[in-house]
Structures are given as structure tokens and as C-alpha cells.
Amino acid sequence: MPPDRDEQLALLLADLSAQARGGGADVDAVAARHPDLASELKELWAVAQFADLAAASKSSTLPYRPTSDDTTPPLPRAFGDFVLESELGRGGMGVVYKARQQSLGRTVAIKMVREAHLASDADRGRFRGEAEAAARLHHPNIVTVHEVGTTDGQAYLCLEYVPGQTLAQKVNADGPLPPREAAGLVAVIARAVHHAHEHGVLHRDLKPSNILLANGWREPAGGELEPPAGSRQPFAPEPKVSDFGLAKRTDAESLTRTGDVVGTPSYMAPEQATSRKDIGPTADVYSLGAILYELLTGRPPFRSSDPLQTLLMVLEQEPIPPRDLNPAVDRDLELICLKCLQKPSELRYPAAAALAADLEAYLVGDPLSVAGSLGSFVSRLLRETHHAAVLENWGLLWMWHSVVILVLCVVTQFMAWAKVESHAVYLAAWGLGLVTWGSIFWRLRRRGGPVLFVERQVAHAWAGGAAASIGLFIIEVVQGLSSLTLSPVLPVIAGVVFAFKAGTLSGQFYLWALGYFATAVYMAAVPATGHLVFGLVSAASFFVPGLKYYRQRQRGRAAGG
């Protein structure tokens, strides 16, 4: 007897966990072999990894936060050509020291794997990956790697020393930045990130604590007052992108295990949160948007004390508009920020340079690429949610449902034409018809496997709509109204149910909701053919999406062999 759906998911998760312990777990490959379980498998795998992450560590990497550790030798101490003077910070993988390089007489930062004798292969791989990724980048706003070496078996990176605080420390101390200053900082960071992308490196862990603020001077951003001739005006500390420990080279194998969930939940793009392999530059664009959001509001777009809850917020919720938290934020800057934070990657800026260009245009008062963003609003409104995949379970059933609804409406229309006035006849047709078919529908769905929570929500909305439709006939009797007097309310009820489906599953259902509301007006104006039109609209609203998701499921099964 084959295992049921839950048991099969459990077996696949156990197999992925075993693969991960062996050095790599490819969740996409496993999902391709089991297309009917793919969506649930990926979400469960993502949650499992974050559960492991939360159990292993309650804090994310903060590379420049002073800490103390009684197990480390006292400072200062010699380390090859360096004298380690003080600890700058540490995270889950590495520790960073301020050091003096004796041969060159310069102050540097030394990063090494923390407790190297206890480091896992993954830790060493990420450390090596950071060296390979960062060493190929030469940009004034990316922390420079001076050299990579080994002393007494301890690998290290010799990095540019950046005096000053992190962007996270600045926000924690000062609160939200002035909007123009925030825009200027993120524009500079975005240019640096684009440079990394041009050299085939995705950062994948951009966040305020990985942005260092060098003490120094830089020319004012566009639109600011020009400094006097021959002088430079202090505008803001120079930002520098650091910590490429989770970087991925786009021209080589991932520097982390395939299928790993990597990054920090509050700044992580949804595609990272579901451990997809096809992560591109737009994932870093999302993180840049999250940084801009925090600079404008003093908090990241999504934050909870529980990393798993934060992950679910990233996947399911929309961020509060920055202007709701800080009225000083300009509408144009809010549009830029929210475009970065779109959940579908294709709705974000296609490159970090495009984000930088809009921020620079904002600073000098030029038109933005997101100005007049009606198209962007409509695209966001009509997009699918990550729950839409469950509709593959309903595709064929919805096609049958369209037939049932059409037959019921046609029968009602013919009875109206035949001058049938009995409320009992209509109540029996709709009551018995909807209840009987609903029972059959639900029984057939349960045969297809366990019913997900979101499916139960949609089913409850549909059941409520069906009950309200039947209730109209009862109200007609109680009020002493003629049969079918309240029929124009039927498409109003259906439209409300479809609006709920739009918010839960796919925004395209808003279009069907509008179609239902228009049908209500038609039924009130032309009662002679109203039920027939209602039947045609209802059948189409179920058959068209049902066919789409049925074909989508068939393609998935064919791709999985």
C-alpha cells in the first residue's frame, strides 16, 4: 500500500535532511520528481531549515559589534605578520579583529573562522567563498580584501579597516534618517551592489549591520547645496558593503549548499525564504529595499521575535507603507521602496543600477521610472499569491463545478420563462443542488490528498456564499416577495466570495468579482434573461481558471516524468 501524502512528505523531508548532513540537499530536484508535492515540500523544507537556524543561534551575524569570549586568548596578541589589538565583532561563523600589519605598518581588519577546530565544512566553505567572492571586487564602496592567507593552520582574510559604526548602529542610535540622506546612502550602496553583480557575485545577506559607515567626507548627493570652491562638504559617512560570507557566484556553483535557506529573515527576498535555486540580482534589490525601508521608518519591513514568524510574514504579508510610519517620507521615495519589496521578482527593479538611478533622479527632482505607477499597482493587485499553487488541486473540480452552476442557472431561467411561481420549487432546486454538489465536490477533493489550511478557508467562503444564496429564497418567502425578486443579489454574493479568493489566491479573481457585480446590475435591469447571463458568467469564472490550473498541474507531472 503506497504511503499517504503526509507520510510521503515526511519521508522526503527526512531524505533531504540526510542529504544536507552529507554536504548538499537539492530540494528542487526532489520537488521535480514529485510535482504534486512540490509546493508543500519546498515550504516545509524552508521552515525546517529556519527551525534549525533558530535552534542553533538566536542572533544573526553582526560583524562589527564588540563582544567578549572567555575562551579566546587575551588581546593584544601576535598572529603571523599581525598584532591583533581588539575584537570588532563576531557572528555565527567568523570573528573580526582590529589589527596592525607590522610589515606594512597599517591598520587592517582580520577576519577568521571562529573556533576553527570546531568549524564545520559548511563554515569553511562559506569562509572560502567569501574570500573568492570579495577578492574579485574592487569598488570604493565595497570593503577591500588585501590578502588571504593561513597562519598556524588558521585561514584568515586581511580586510580594509573601516573606522566608524554600522548602518544598523546608526539607526538604532539615531532613529530614522532624513529621507534624502537615506536615499543618498542607498543609492551609493546600490551602485556598489551592481558592481558585484556585474562581476558575477550575489551578496544574499545585505542588511544594515553589513553596511559599514567610514568616517570621512564625500561630495553631496544631487540636489544638495554645492560646497564652496576648493572645499569639501561633510554630507554623510561613506557606506561600504561588507561580509560576503553568503555570497553566490553566478558563473559557478553556489558557495552554499544547494537548497539552503540563507540570509537574514527580515531582509530576505521571498524566493530566498523558499530555498529556490534560481535566485538572481533582484533578490539583492529586495534587500536594498528592506534597508531603505528601515532607514526611513526605523524598523525593517517584517520583524518578529520568532524567525519562523518573520519568514511567514515575508512570504504572506505586505509591508506597511513607509508614509504610514513616517509622514515625512515623500510619496516618490515610498514608491521606490515598495517597488523593491514586491514579492514577485519580476515586479522589482531589474537591477541594482536601476534602483540607484531612480534614487538619484529623486534627489535631483527628475522623473522616476516608477512615476505614475498605475501599471505597477495593477500588476501588484492582479498577481498570484504563493497560495495559488493549491489551485492545481482544484482545477478539474472547478471545471465540473462550472457545468453544475450553468445547468442550475439554465434550469432556473427556463422555470422563470415557464412562469413557475412556487418558492418551494426554486428552494429545492438551489438548496438540494448546491448542498448535494458541495458534498460530492468536497469528497472528491479529499480523495486527492490532505486538504491544506488555505483550501479550507476558501471552502468556508464558498460554503458561506452558497448558504447566503439559498437564504435569499427563504427571505422572499418571509417578506412575501415574488419568486426570484432577490435574484440580482446572487452575483453580488458571488462577487464578494471571489474578492476573498483574490486576496487569498490570485488577484486575477478581482476581475471576475467585477464581472459578477456588473452581472448584478444586468439582472436588475433585464430580469428576462438575467439568470442565463449569471449562469454563463459563473461557469466562465470557474472553468477558465480551472482549465489553467489543471493544465499547469499536468505540465508539472509531465516535467517530473
- Strands 248-249, 82-90: pairing kind: unpaired
Interatomic CA distance for residues 115 and 113, integer angstroms = 6
Answer whether the bond into residue 76 is a cis peptide, omega within 30°: yes
**Residue 440: what are its φ and ψ, rounded to 5°?**
-65, -45
**For residue 468, what are the CA distances in angstroms to 352, 433, 479, 529, 533?**
50, 14, 16, 22, 20
**For residue 415, what are the CA distances in angstroms to 402, 406, 479?**
20, 14, 21
Q: Which residues pair with 506 in a beta bridge?
A: 384
Interatomic CA distance for residues 13 and 41, integer angstroms = 7
Residue with cell 487569498: 504
> Which are the contacts of 29, defined by CB distance < 8 A and separation ≥ 6?
none
C-alpha cell of 91? 557572528
Q: Is 443 exposed, middle or buried (0-12, 13-18, 19+ CB in 10 A)?
A: exposed
Active site members? 205
- Secondary structure element (H or E) that encloses residue 335, with its range: helix 331-340
Q: Which residues pair with 241 in a beta bridge?
A: 142, 211
Residue with cell 531582509: 267
Residue with cell 432577490: 486
Evaluate whether 81 touches 102 at the Cβ level (below 8 Å).
Answer: yes
**Residue 557: what are its φ and ψ, rounded to 5°?**
-65, -40
Q: Which amino acid makes up residue 557?
A: R
Interatomic CA distance for residues 305 and 466, integer angstroms = 41
Residue with cell 514568524: 309
C-alpha cell of 183? 536615499
Angle at 538 between CA 532 and CA 542, to 5 degrees: 145
SS3 at position 73: coil
How many secondary structure helices (H) and strands (E) does the chain include? 19, 10
List b or e across 295-306, with b for residues whose CB sees 16 or more CB atoms inside 10 angstroms: bbbeebbbeeee
Interatomic CA distance for residues 540 and 521, integer angstroms = 18
**Residue 449: what are its φ and ψ, rounded to 5°?**
130, 175
Specify the DSSP class assigned to residue 141.
T
Interatomic CA distance for residues 196 and 210, integer angstroms = 15
Interatomic CA distance for residues 240 and 450, integer angstroms = 49
